[in-house]
Chains A and B, each alone.
Chain A
Amino acid sequence: MRSPDPFVPSLFRVDRVWRESADTVTLGLLPIQGEIPAFRSGQFFMLYAFGIGEIPVSVSGLWGQGPLLHTVRAVGPVSQALCRLRPGDTLGVRGPYGSPWPLPQAEGGDLLLIAGGLGLAPLRSALLPALAERERYGRIALLYGARSPADLLFGEERGDWSSRGDLQVEVTVDHASPAWRGSVGVVPARISHTRFAPERAHAFVCGPEVMMRYSAAALLGAGVPPARIFLSLERNMKCAFAVCGRCQFGPTFVCRDGPVFSYDRIARLLSIREL
């Protein structure tokens, strides 16, 4: 149940924990009381590790299909505390917040999902509904880059995706030993090897900002219109509902107007170094 004070989180319990890699886990969360609030792919929740702090984390699953799924990488105090949670532990959750991936807008054309590192988690929440309603889209491709083979997420599920005839999956890593049988190289370089019709394609990109900028440049070079390229931005957040100004990005608030923005809306802002 949602608290009337927007800053007060609801109490959730960890139902399951999946270890994705050495520093990343997926948490399956259930509310102690009431229902999981309705959310859409691309949105995020504020997760509160008691006594430590609160951070924004995107949804990596779907609403109405079991627990609320969040994939968290341990980088600092709060995310480390979240990654240490075990089934039965509790945490605070508030949300959902932010703009979703514009899946309905992408229907009828090709869909490219371009993920870097942990960016696969928010894009998983876009891929699953697109696969569930596969007939609504033209070609679908997932391009996924990570640092090394050991850092690749959702191993088993990726195997299922790769074996589907109706989804092109391109996985590439920055560094590997000769034992790795897959591709080595950066994600933007794989865009020219992807089968899609740029004039009727939408691209959803999520990953470190530099990787997103290079990917957007490669997509533009391939002929995808800027209004059809969507990036999910990360900025530090506090309130998550456009009150505190912490996530201000030029004239926009990432928590309210984003995190998913169309490239034509933010291209100019991305080039301003101070933002």
Chain B
Amino acid sequence: MGSILNAEHITVEFGGLVAVNDVSFDIPEKGIVSLIGPNGAGKTTFFNILTGLYKPTSGHVMYDGSEITALVPHKIAAGGVARTFQNIRLFGSMTAEENVMVAMHSHLKASLASTILGLPSQRREEKAAREEARALLEFVGIGKTATEFARNLSYGDQRRLEVARALALRPKVLLLDEPTAGMNPQESAVFVEFVHRIRDEKGISILLIEHDMAVVMKVSERITVLDRGEKIAEGTPAEIKSNPRVIEAYLGKGVGAGH
């Protein structure tokens, strides 16, 4: 299987701090892969590189056969690399439905004039967009909240809305930054199923950053481990579980003792 997104020798420096050090990484087409590592390992920074928010000090990002390293973020997003945020970043004073529709911006074509005049083409497009947004909200399980302000949703629903909004970009790759943070074990279990549905029903490749080891081990086909900006291991869940470097750097502190 080919890879849809692939980062080659990425290094990111913030002043003196090397947040990501020569990390290469692949998201296989229609794969579900995870990025794990202790706090401050550079996982979110790596996401920010893939989505164009930060530019790497060195290295390249290839997506769907072309280089996107230097592209502006909105072009990368419109091209099909969607993400959610570790700290939820919804548009609070807009409704759930509108949040989703914002992410359709790049697909919609209506001009300023046709919007003001309310031309039939614009109305049709809006109607279709609204229906698509409703369908996405249903898909993530919060169809009832369509007309609620995002800031009034429960924490769990906000996390779901972030996913629905990202899906509205009609992405080929979905990057989820700690999507189960704040969920209880049952909700997390449901979430694992949900990630599979996204991949299977929509054919989207998924990269997760995740702290919950139960989720990571269940959902991932491959796992990459970062520690202090360095890639220290890569492999299947079984390989990662038994990798001594990983246990030392990461699992030893958390899951090894606790779970």
Are A and B physically bound partners?
A: no
Residues of B in contact with A (beta carbons under 8 Å apart): none
